[in-house]
């Protein structure tokens, strides 16, 4: 299929296998570990533009574009592509199938090297943290030290949150949608009913069913139950009301009569053609175990996180209700961690995170464009020491083609700044020492400040560049109005 506007075009799932054993939360190890993944866009030279997308319960690595011969795009195609929120003209977008899944990554239907047969229930129980550990292997394999963002909805949002606490140095932004920081009793309850439906199917056979005779009845029922929780009362009423399916009056029996019944049968049926029953057990168990709280405190759980966060809920989501997003926001705010919160207004229910593309594109796009100084600043900039001469300063400025030169004290922290305008003044007024011309009260920027705020400060003070300093006033870069306007020009 040729590339369409806004589409990443034809895509293909890649596979990588790691032979080094993957330690799991349960104490078991998994080896070898295969990860199925797709990428869209190009990784830049600095490897700083990578975004990891994490999928929900039944998703896979195919998040965007079209597989050869297929007409349905990837599951988050509405937000991934040129000009979309996850803009593949700017970002290198990665999506991988979770371990425990059945879409190419190692899971219970993979061959157990110890027996030569599918693992089935010999597959170790996994957690969301284990899924993230496996993703870290992939990210390392791709040579990426720090992700520009990790994003996902539902279980994908849990993985994104998990990244922020397990690998705080390896992720700059987290986008968590329609999710929670710890599974609730109600969520565990629905998962358990689904699992019981599968395990009660005689075809499940203790998990050792042959690939061509899976427990379809149990899996169908599990999905029907699950799918109800992905919708809302309003969405069901709007979609089906009390409409009958293919008949004009009720039949006083137990065959399928209502449209909503027919719809759920359809959803259950199609699910059995694309999903493995044992993977359903393992992944829902991972959801149950998910709890980022430490000593029952979510604030303590997020204490080490370093990313900035976007938390999004769906107004009609009763499976992962907005109050659970608000808990995440409060826990982050308690740690002084930058966080934005948005509630998508939608009647769709939980699956709104797969459908509300207009709102998602706007909210995510705005957040990703909400650049921080560290995203824009120039690093490795020239500096000069306090005792140097005006001649030294002008030579360094000419050699490096810069108009701003931070002046460092003997201790190495910021003592002042000298500009090409100061040099011109020095020549005109015949000043001899750097001390006479440099400004000592320097307006600075911090790496975690939003660029927009710094741009406002520069405008108010009529300054065209600010040194970026760390907590010890060590100069770590420079942000200039030129760099900001180049960026804005590129983004419009
Ligand atoms: C999140 C991840 O990481 S990936 C996992 C996401 N993917 C899924 O969950 C796949 C299954 N889920 C769905 O299809 C979800 O409903 C969504 C959210 C993805 C799509 O939502 P919508 O576009 O609103 O589709 P909707 O829920 O109406 O379902 C449409 C299907 O129901 C069928 N349908 C609609 N009404 C009826 C009915 N009365 N009787 C039988 N079937 C019906 C349609 O024919 C269509 O079938 P098809 O998907 O086989 O073509
Ligand atoms: N429809 C989604 C819902 C779970 O979040 C899925 O099947 O993965």
Q: Which tens digit of pLDDT belongs to each residue from 230-244?
A: 999 999 999 999 999
Residue 310 has pLDDT above 70, yes or no: yes
Instruction: Return the H-helix or E-strand segment holding 37.
Output: strand 33-40
pTM (2 decimals)?
0.81
Read off the pLDDT of each residue in 114-123 and give the average, rounded to a whole number.
Answer: 98
CA of 351 to the centre of ligand 2 (A): 7
The answer to whether the CB of 66 falls within 8 A of the CB of 10 is yes
Query: Which residues are annotated as catalytic?
Result: 154, 317, 350
Q: What is the total count of domains within the chain?
A: 2
How high is the pLDDT of residue 9?
96
- 216: pLDDT strictly greater than 70: yes
380 lies in the same domain as 354: no
Which of 309-323, 417-431, 447-461 shows the highest mean pLDDT?
309-323
| Residue range 77-98, pLDDT digits in tens | 999 999 899 999 999 999 999 9
Q: Are residues 363 and 414 in the same domain?
A: no
Q: Tell me: the pLDDT tens digits for 27-58? A: 999 999 999 999 999 999 889 999 999 999 99
* Whole-number Cα distances in Å, 82 to 3, 62, 86, 147: 11, 16, 8, 19
Ligand nearest to the CA of 55: 1
> 57 and 119 share a domain?
yes
Residue 301 lies in a domain: yes
Average pLDDT over residues 98-107: 98
CATH number for position 71: 3.40.50.1820
Q: Indicate whether 305 belongs to any domain.
A: yes
Reference 418, options 431, 435, 398; nearest CA is 435
Return the best residue to mutate from 223, 324, 350 for the ligand 2 pocket (most ligand atoms within 8 A of CB).
350
Rg over alpha carbons for the chain, rounded to the nearest Å, is: 27
**What percent of the chain has pLDDT above 90?**
87
- Distance (Å) of CA 412 to CA 112, 247, 480: 57, 82, 22
Report the mean per-residue pLDDT for the chain. 94
7 within a domain of the structure (yes/no): no
Q: Which of 151, 210, 208, 185 minimizes the C-alpha distance to 291?
A: 185
Any domain includes 188: no
**Ligand showing the shortest atom-to-Cα distance for residue 259:** 1
Percent of the chain exceeding pLDDT 70 equals 97
Assess whether pLDDT exceeds 60 at residue 2: no
Does residue 135 sit in the same domain as residue 62? yes
Q: Judge if 24 and 91 occupy the same domain.
A: yes
pLDDT tier, 435 (very low <50, low <70, confident <90, very high otherwise): confident
* Neighbouring C-beta atoms of residue 245, cutoff 10 Å: 15
Reply yes or no on whether the pLDDT at 372 is more than 60. Answer: yes
Residue 239: its H or E element: helix 233-239
Mutate to test the pocket of ligand 2, among 194, 354, 356 (most ligand atoms within 8 A of CB): 354
Please tell me the predicted confidence (pLDDT) of residue 432: 78
Residue with the bigger pLDDT between 27 and 428: it is: 27
56 CB near ligand 1 (under 6 Å):
yes
pLDDT higher than 70, residue 353: yes
Ligand nearest to the CA of 267: 1
Residue nearest to atom 25 of ligand 1 (CA): 355
For residue 335, report the distance from its CA to the centre of ligand 2, in Å: 31
223 is in an annotated binding site: yes
**Cis amide linkage into residue 327, ω under 30° from 0:** no
Scan for tokens 């305008």, then name that residue. 421
Do 366 and 394 sit in the same domain of this protein?
no
Report the half-sphere exposure of 443 (CA within 13 A, side-chain side).
Answer: 15
Phi, psi of 269 (to 5 degrees): -65, -50
In contact, 203 and 278? CB cutoff 8 Å: no
Q: Which domain holds residue 107?
A: 14-183+289-370
Neighbours of 27 (CB within 10 A): 7
Q: Which among 275, 254, 111, 124 is positioned nearest to 194, based on CA atoms?
A: 275
Beta bridge partners of 314: 344
Among residues 93, 95, 3, which one has the least CA distance to residue 43? 93
Residue 172 forms part of a structural domain: yes
pLDDT at 433 over 90: no
How far, in Å, from the CA of 256 to the mean position of ligand 1?
18
109 in the same domain as 56: yes
Query: For the residues 432-449, what does the mean pLDDT come to?
Result: 89
Whether 211 is in a domain gets the answer no
- pLDDT bracket for residue 487 (50, 70, 90): low
Rounded to 5°, the CA angle 241-244-249 comes to: 125
Q: Is the pLDDT of residue 491 over 90?
A: no
Q: Is the model's pLDDT at 133 over the cut of 60?
A: yes
Residues 6 or more apart in contact with residue 53 via CB below 8 angstroms: 63, 76, 80, 86, 93, 94, 95, 151, 152, 156
Q: Is residue 210 part of a domain?
A: no
Given 370, 395, 410, the domain boundary residue is 370
For 258-292, b/e burial (b = at least 16 CB within 10 A) is bbbebbbeebbeebbeebbbbbbbbbbbbbbbbbb
| Model confidence at 342: pLDDT above 70 | yes
Residue 314's SS3 state is strand
Q: H or E element: which one contains 329?
A: helix 322-334
Average pLDDT over residues 297-311: 97
CA distance 74 to 90: 19
The helix (run of H) or strand (run of E) holding residue 17 is strand 14-18
The pLDDT value recorded for residue 374 is: 81
End position of a domain, from candidates 352, 370, 388: 370
Q: Of 355, 370, 385, which marks where a domain is finished?
A: 370
456: left (phi over 0), alpha (psi -120 to 50) or beta: alpha
Q: Is 432 exposed, middle or buried (0-12, 13-18, 19+ CB in 10 A)?
A: exposed
Report pLDDT for 450. Answer: 80
pLDDT of residue 430: 85
202 inside domain = no
Q: pLDDT class for 489, splitting at 50, 70, 90?
A: low
Do residue 388 and residue 352 come from a single domain?
no
Of the ranges 222-231, 366-375, 476-485, the best mean pLDDT one: 222-231
- pLDDT beyond 90 at 330: yes
Q: Any idea how long the chain is?
A: 492
- pLDDT for 70 beyond 90: yes
CATH code: domain of residue 456: 3.10.580.10
Q: How many CB atoms lie within 10 A of CB 382?
A: 15
pLDDT at 1: 39
Cα–Cα separations (whole angstroms), residue 340 to 9, 315, 326: 32, 16, 11
Q: What is the pLDDT of residue 3?
A: 42
Whether residues 446 and 344 share a domain: the answer is no
Distance CA(441)–CA(471), nearest Å, equals: 17
162 C-alpha vs ligand 2 centroid, how far in Å?
18
pLDDT for the residue 370: 65
Give start and end residues of each alpha helix (H) in 167-215. 185-199
> CA angle, corner 190, sides to 313 and 96, nearest 5?
60
At residue 488, the pLDDT reads: 59
Complex ipTM value: 0.96
Same domain, 349 and 381: no
Segments of 209-338 assigned E as strands: 308-314
313 and 444 together in one domain: no
Lowest mean per-residue pLDDT among 315-319, 330-334, 413-417, 425-429: 425-429
Ligand 1 binding pocket includes 243 (Cβ within 6 Å): no
Tell whether the model's pLDDT for residue 344 goes beyond 50: yes
Q: Are residues 175 and 93 in the same domain?
A: yes
pLDDT exceeds 50 at position 5: no
């Amino acid at each position: 299929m040729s590339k369409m506007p806004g589409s990443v075009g034809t895509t293909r799932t890649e596979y990588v296998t790691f032979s080094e054993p993957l330690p799991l939360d349960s104490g078991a190890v998994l080896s070898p570990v295969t990860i199925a993944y797709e990428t869209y866009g190009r990784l830049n030279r600095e490897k700083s533009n990578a975004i990891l997308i994490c999928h929900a319960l039944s998703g896979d690595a195919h998040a965007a574009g079209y597989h050869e011969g297929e007409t349905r795009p990837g599951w988050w195609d509405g937000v991934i592509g040129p000009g979309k929120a996850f803009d593949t003209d700017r970002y290198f977008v990665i999506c991988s199938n979770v371990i425990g899944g059945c879409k190419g990554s190692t899971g219970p239907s993979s061959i157990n090297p110890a027996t030569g047969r599918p693992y089935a229930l010999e597959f170790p129980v996994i957690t969301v943290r284990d899924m993230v550990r496996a993703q870290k292997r992939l990210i390392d394999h791709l040579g990426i030290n720090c992700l520009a963002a990790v994003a996902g909805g539902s279980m994908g949002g849990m993985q994104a949150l998990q990244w922020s606490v397990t690998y705080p140095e390896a992720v700059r932004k987290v986008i968590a949608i329609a999710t929670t920081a710890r599974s609730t009793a109600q969520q565990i309850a629905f998962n358990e009913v689904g699992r019981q439906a599968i395990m009660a199917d005689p075809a499940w056979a203790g998990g050792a069913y042959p690939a061509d005779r899976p427990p379809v009845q149990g899996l169908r029922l599990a999905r029907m139950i699950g799918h109800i929780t992905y919708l809302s009362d309003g969405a069901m009423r709007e979609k089906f009301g009390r409409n009958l399916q293919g008949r004009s009056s009720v039949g006083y029996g137990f065959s399928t009569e209502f449209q909503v019944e027919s719809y759920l049968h359809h959803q259950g049926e199609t699910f059995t053609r694309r999903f493995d029953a044992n993977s359903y057990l393992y992944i829902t168990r991972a959801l149950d175990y998910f709890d980022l709280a430490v000593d029952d405190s979510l604030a303590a759980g997020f204490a080490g996180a370093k990313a900035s966060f976007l938390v999004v809920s769906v107004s009609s989501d009763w499976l992962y209700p907005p109050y659970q997003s608000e808990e995440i926001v409060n826990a982050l705010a308690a740690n002084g961690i930058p966080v934005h919160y948005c509630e998508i207004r939608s009647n769709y229910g939980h699956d709104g995170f797969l459908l509300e593309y207009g709102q998602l594109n706007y909210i995510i796009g705005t957040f990703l464009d909400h650049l921080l100084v560290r995203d824009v600043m120039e690093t490795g900039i020239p500096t000069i020491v306090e005792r140097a001469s005006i001649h030294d300063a002008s030579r360094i400025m000419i050699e490096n083609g810069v108009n701003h030169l931070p002046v460092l004290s003997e201790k190495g922290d910021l003592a002042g700044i000298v500009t090409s305008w100061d040099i011109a003044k020095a020549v005109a007024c015949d000043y001899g020492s750097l001390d006479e011309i440099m400004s000592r009260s320097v307006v600075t920027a911090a790496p975690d400040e939003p660029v927009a705020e710094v741009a406002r400060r520069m405008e108010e003070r009529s300054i065209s560049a600010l040194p970026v300093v760390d907590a010890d006033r060590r100069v770590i870069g420079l942000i200039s109005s030129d760099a900001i306007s180049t960026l804005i020009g590129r983004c419009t």
